[in-house]
Amino acid sequence: MGSEQIRRWESGALAHAVTDPFGQGPVPWLRGGETYFDDTGHVVPWYMDPAPESAAPGPGAQRAGSRVPAPRRASTAGGAGLRSADDVHQQIKGFVSTGAVAPGEAVDFHVTVNPPQEFTVDVYRIGHYGGDGAAKITTSPRLSGIVQPPPLAADRTVSCHHWWLSWRLQIPSYWSIGAHVAVLTTADGRHRSHIPFTIRDNRSADLLLLLPDITWQAYNLYPEDGRTGASLYHAWDDSGRLLGEADAATTVSFDRPYAGAGLPLHVGHAYDFIRWAERYGYDVAYADARDLHGGQVDPTRYRGLVFPGHDEYWSTAMRRAVERARDHGTSLVFLSANTLYWQVELAPSPSGAPDRLLICRKRRGPGKPVLWREVDRPEQQLVGIQYLGRVPEPHPLIVRNAGHWLWDATGAREGDALDGLVAGEADRYFPRAPLPGHDERILLAHSPYTDAEGALRHQETSLYRAPSGAWVFASGTFAWSPALDRPGHVDARVQRATANLLDRICKRD
């Protein structure tokens, strides 16, 4: 990769810039052409400003003559002088060693604090809440913070499974299920970080929302320190340069914090859908992708499964469960692009806890290829369309088949352009790839755009009806969920079209 300029969303690492518990911060693929390499080829993390030429070397600087980033000037977000912790100094960072939990179960927090001091945990539930985006559910007592041992690294796999337990939160039976964020704050009021977690329930509901925690972990470069961190996309060399996919990890651990502010890349996409759906009163249950993998939820009990954000990494068990649900009559709603692209495995942690390691060998090492389309099971056979490529700059989504019921009451006419709605990554129909069995099938958008090499491409939005009666919708773009409830990106036509779809699914029409 050298010192080539790379957009942050394009790398899938660094500076995802979500610093608040509501998921409304800037989104990488809407940040224009920002780069994070300095002129020496070193990565400049999002939380830092370039230091002047005379700056003294610091963490991650191992090459003579290199310029090292200095800490970003303090932000006033959330209080005077309060800013997000970083992965170099680890002022406060943490993770939960439990997956999604049900009311009555406990969430185990493992937190490091540097320098050692007390800290508190504020727990928020994501929702509409009159436009606030989240509500505070509880606050911990003051907790003792210690500097935990350094992360363990073996063959690019970074794990903090050896960190001491910092706090156990017992979930009361009366708490609402849903997506939650724990906000960690140091006692001196200077730094904070975040930990997402899910409270699930096995009750029946109209819709089951599945948070893409497996894909979130695939992109997690923690620690972004120029030395240790690794994801399925990147790692560092001995000089602090960011290496590409060929040198990245093949196994990553859930037992570690998320990089930067502590929230995953594209987490806001899920939160956008949640706020919108709860505002309009949809009956939604919650689970993580790992719950689907491990059989903790039965997807056939719901009228529809909603995949609200970027959901690229799927295990065989996940795919089988979703195909079984579709064939049983459960509808599927994919509100992003590049879904079901890589085939992965989950393995237990060194302590034996199940599904704490994510394995994706990509094109290296022994074993079969792990692109679903390379094992003759292309994603189009489930989703209806499949991944085409990245979209360098946002383009309009061009409405097609405007007379279809999905576009009812939206005001959209044939050929209308919905500005900025093709962004990040795009899917389309591949004529040479097999289609799923269907009774009806239609493409609801056909949107030309130019890729990074200047070639003309097009995005498509798809809907088909399986023989079981299940509807399967795929937006084919990253920008659909943000159009539901993200300030500055709301599109009333997308809101109405999504409501038309969910209303039909919930009524089993």
Of 481, 433, 477, 427, residue with least CA distance to 457: 427
pLDDT value at 142 more than 70: yes
Give the Cα separation of 169 and 227 in Å (integer). 33
Does 307 lie in the same domain as 172? Answer: no
If one compares 110 and 233, the residue with the highest pLDDT of the two is 110
Count other Cβ atoms within 10 Å, centred on residue 509. 9
Q: What is the number of domains present in the chain?
A: 2
Residue 149 in domain: yes
Count other Cβ atoms within 10 Å, centred on residue 35. 16
Handedness of CA 13, 15, 21, 25 (dihedral sign): negative
Whichever domain contains 414, its CATH number is: 3.40.50
* Boundary of a domain, candidates 189, 221, 253: 253
pLDDT value at 135 more than 60: yes
Does 313 lie in the same domain as 176? Answer: no
Q: How many CA atoms lie within 13 A of 466 on its CB side?
A: 22
Does 249 lie in the same domain as 398? Answer: no
Parent domain of 199: 8-253
Does 247 lie in the same domain as 309? Answer: no
pLDDT value at 404 more than 70: yes
Q: What is the mean pLDDT of residues 288-315?
A: 96
Cα–Cα distances in angstroms (integers) from residue 372 to residues 158, 324, 338, 381, 494, in the given order: 26, 17, 12, 10, 30
| Cα 434-440-442 angle, rounded to 5 deg | 75
Residue 261 in domain: no
pLDDT of residue 368: 61
Residue 35 in domain: yes
pLDDT value at 228 more than 80: yes
Q: What is the DSSP string of 412-425?
A: --TT-EEEEEEEEE
Residue 292 in domain: no
Residue 61 in domain: yes
Residue 3 in domain: no
Does 498 lie in the same domain as 443? Answer: yes
Residue 180 in domain: yes
Taking only the tens place, the pLDDT of each residue in 9-42 is: 223 333 333 333 323 333 222 222 333 333 344 4
Does 39 lie in the same domain as 103? Answer: yes
**Beta strand 83-84 pairing with 191-199:** parallel
pLDDT of residue 366: 61
Does 303 lie in the same domain as 244? Answer: no
Does 208 lie in the same domain as 121? Answer: yes
* Boundary of a domain, candidates 196, 230, 253: 253
pLDDT of residue 81: 59
Residue 374 in domain: no
- DSSP-assigned letter for residue 180: E
Cβ contacts of 399 within 8 Å, gap of 6 or more: 407, 412, 413, 414, 415, 416, 417, 418, 444, 445
Whichever domain contains 240, its CATH number is: 2.60.40.1930
pTM recorded for the entire structure: 0.86
Does 325 lie in the same domain as 195? Answer: no
401 φ/ψ angles, rounded to the nearest 5 degrees: 55, 55
Q: What is the mean pLDDT of residues 127-137?
A: 86
Does 131 lie in the same domain as 210? Answer: yes
* Boundary of a domain, candidates 228, 253, 278: 253
Does 324 lie in the same domain as 196? Answer: no
Does 453 lie in the same domain as 319? Answer: yes
Q: What is the mean pLDDT of residues 363-380?
A: 81
**Are the CB atoms for 431 and 380 separated by under 8 Å?**
no
